[in-house]
Amino acid sequence: MSQSNPGGEESDFKQKLNNLDQWLKNIVQPSSLPKNNPATPTPVPDPKAPTSSQQPNALQPKNKRPFNKVNKNSMNTNTSVAPNAKPSFFNRREKNAKPAFFKKGKLRIIPLGGLEEVGKNMMVFEYDKDIIIVDMGFQFPEEDMLGIDYVLPDVSYLMERKQNIRGVFLTHGHLDHIGGIPYLLPRLGFPMVYGAPLTMGFVKKQLEEFRLNALARTRVFDPKEKRWIFTFVYP
């Protein structure tokens, strides 16, 4: 029978520990540190080269770095655009420049009813001295409006400019859009009323009930066609 040698096993174990210790040292040793290379010469500083204090942004705190002062008077304020230049995000129309359509006058949009309420829809578009009206409806009274049948828009602004009204254009035939026609047309001098066939059928029925069909002027048009009404195109 062979007998084990305890001294030999202990020496083998120590040798393995030494090998493991050497391997760990090689792994843990930082590789980023530069190694001393005797063959590499040490660079000699140039006396004419600027020092770190002379370089504006080299290794200086941010609060001590110099900055270039800009003279506002020397800045180029010319924002004119070449005639053939393509519009971009940084090449927009100047604030004071106006499109060609508004050279002679201003467009005013005046709501006489229908905003934040149900009924009484009526909108006025005024450009220079031309006025068109979109819809002419009424509103049914509220519970606290005793003795009132209908509520009509205030047309005092239009009554003073009735000679400038070029037409009334109706969007559809609901009473909140056409219900005020028999009451307001006589006050405005019976301007021309434009609308689609079904809408104008309702309007003519209203005018007959109020016996205004002989005085009122109506015109049916195709919604797909365009008509020039002075400075406006409808639809």
What pLDDT does 99 receive? 44
**Tell me, what's the pLDDT at 3?**
55
Which token pair is 149? 């049948």
Q: Do the bridges between strand 232-234 and strand 227-229 make them parallel or antiparallel, or are there none, so unpaired? A: antiparallel
pLDDT number for residue 15: 83
* Chain-centroid distance, C-alpha 28: 60
Give me the pLDDT at residue 40, please: 54
Domains in the chain: boundaries: 121-229
In CATH, which superfamily holds the domain spanning 121-229? Ribonuclease Z/Hydroxyacylglutathione hydrolase-like (3.60.15.10)
Which segments of the chain have a pLDDT < 70? 1-8, 28-104, 226-235
Task: Report long-range pairs for 144-149 (Cβ below 8 Å, ≥24 apart).
Answer: none
| Range 69-79 burial, b when 16+ CB lie within 10 A, else e | eeeeeeeeeee
What pTM did the predictor assign?
Answer: 0.53
